[in-house]
Amino acid sequence: MARPENRLPSPRAMITAPQPEAVEAGLAILAGGGNAMDAVLACALTQGVIDPLMCGVAGLGVLQIFDAATGDHVVMNGLSTCPSACTETMWQDVFEGECPDGYGYILKGHVNELGHSAVTTPGILRLLAQAHGRWGSKPWASLFEPAIAAATEGWIIRPHVATMFALDETAYGRVSYRDKLAHTEDGKRLYLRPDGSPKRLGDTVRNLDLATSLALIAREGAEALHTGELARQIIANMEKHGGLLSAADLAGFTPEVEPPLSILYHGRTIAVPPPPADGIMVAEMLRIMERFDLSALGHNSVDFIAIFAEAMKYAGRDKDRHIGDPRFVTPPLERLLSDAYADECAAAIRGGSKVALPRGDADGEHTTTVSCVDADGMVATLTHTLGLPSGVIVPGTGFMLNGAMNWYDPRPGRAGSIGPGKRRFSSMSPTIVLEEGHPVATIGAPGGAWIPIAIAQALVNVLDFGMTMQEAVQAPRFSATSDAIDIGNRIPRATQRALEAKGYEVRRLAATFPFAGVHGITMWNGKLEGGADPQRDGLAAGLI
């Protein structure tokens, strides 16, 4: 019997993100005549209201945009910088170790994670302002309306937000989220119940202070946070509590704009953000995997997983050794992406060698993403985060400050060591795929160190196995960010046993959909199809 014909009309624009309310905000902007940049900005601002531990106006991010009308194709880097008061050796005496899961560093008193000393110079708001000034079409202030409405009217805690509020990471050497929510009086009032427990699924959050702050930024622009009234409030609070961030740090931050890092994969261009973002890992994995006949191996077969896991470990090892802020550490990109190096890695994998990869530094999971395609062919994909949220809400502002100092290595002399003005490495990798110069897919993900490995798997699912984007993002995934292979609970037990027979330590996760939260859109022959990872409560929605 033939498959029933899909009779749904094809969308002329589409947006996807992990939060349905934020998708609705972006879709409304598209319906009102806005373009993809406008929709991404409105969606991102709304995400900061309804996912307050994931992102916000005091966070950081990476944007990739392709504008068919102008031919612009660039990456904007709004990754945060170390405050100028930082020194490479300032925390070496309180260093206790790396977090056992690789997400950051353990210091006495958690000074790099909780409180004012954990805060880096935020970059997301100036990134959005500059991107809007160059590519936006709707008035800046109008794009804040959905976020202000969500903060004013209130929003209901969804499953993934409830999970984050209740998250206890003390086993990994990090602070529990209850402690972060309770760090300030404003946090307690907004996010805790009267008994001191985090608000739960179905509870409502109204944040009038945040609505006021957003209205101020809507009127005065990003400078409200960098040089204006919000900046003055933040710096006064920093000085009161011994924070590192200064007025000069806030005023001096500038996003970097540069071409994407691009490779060919089976004749298509994969465009990813260059360092200190983590597109290099996506690119290196694909360069290695291109040396194998993946369709002949079979999707998620034993050999497929073993080969891909080794490619993940090569890319992870090279990231740990070489990738940081290029202004401080020059990355050997030409060598890492060369035919010779990919051939060398592939030959070693065929020969049965295994890469040694002790756990190193990585992002946390506290990130979100949004991708959009409009009717005129503009493609915008943004990943943004608070890092590990610091717990600091400056009284009366309503938004939490980032805690991204957690990912700088307190040990001097390393690629990721602390340094004044140094941009932190980030696993964020918003990606665009092009065919003969035209975009055919865009994809991004939250999920820390799992971001590049999840994006690479979803790309292989689409490009090698012909999956739709929804099929690609919900297919079972695996991870090798250490010497072990971690697998999702839908990968068969027989496959696990066969991998163990090959000498691998295999760790089965209880989660049905682990390893980042991939969201994307394909554009084959002008037909838009979206995908939203089921683990993140998200949505892909089209404008008919």
Positions annotated as catalytic residues are 367
Cβ contacts of 321-326, under 8 Å, gap ≥ 24: 321/415, 322/415, 323/275, 323/276, 323/278, 323/280, 323/415, 323/425, 324/275, 324/276, 324/415, 324/416, 324/422, 324/425, 325/275, 325/276, 325/419, 325/422, 325/423, 325/424, 325/425, 326/274, 326/275, 326/276
Q: What's the CA gap between 229 and 213, in Å, rounded?
A: 10
Give the H/E segment covering residue 229.
helix 229-241
Give the H/E segment covering residue 383.
strand 379-385
H-helix segments, 2-144? 20-31, 36-50, 124-135
- The tokens 């990738």 sit on which residue? 323
Identify whether the C-beta of residue 104 lies closer than 8 Å to the C-beta of residue 178.
no
Neighbours of 55 (CB within 10 A): 35
Identify whether the C-beta of residue 87 lies closer than 8 Å to the C-beta of residue 420.
yes
3-state secondary structure of 185: helix
Instruction: Choose among 491, 492, 498, 538: nearest CA to 514.
Output: 491
Q: What's the CA gap between 184 and 176, in Å, rounded?
A: 14
Buried b (16+ CB within 10 A) or exposed e, 251-282: eebebbeeebbbbebeebbbbbbbbbbbbbbb
Q: How many CA atoms lie within 13 A of 542 on its CB side?
A: 16
Q: What's the CA gap between 79 and 63, in Å, rounded?
A: 10
Omega of the bond leading into 139 within 30 degrees of 0 (cis) = no
Q: How many CA atoms lie within 13 A of 43 on its CB side?
A: 36
Identify whether the C-beta of residue 60 lies closer than 8 Å to the C-beta of residue 387.
yes
Instruction: Choose among 497, 260, 494, 210: nearest CA to 380.
Output: 260
3-state secondary structure of 500: helix
DSSP 543: E
3-state secondary structure of 306: helix
DSSP 94: G
- The tokens 């554009």 sit on which residue? 523
- The tokens 């682990």 sit on which residue? 514
Q: What's the CA gap between 221 and 357, in Å, rounded?
A: 45
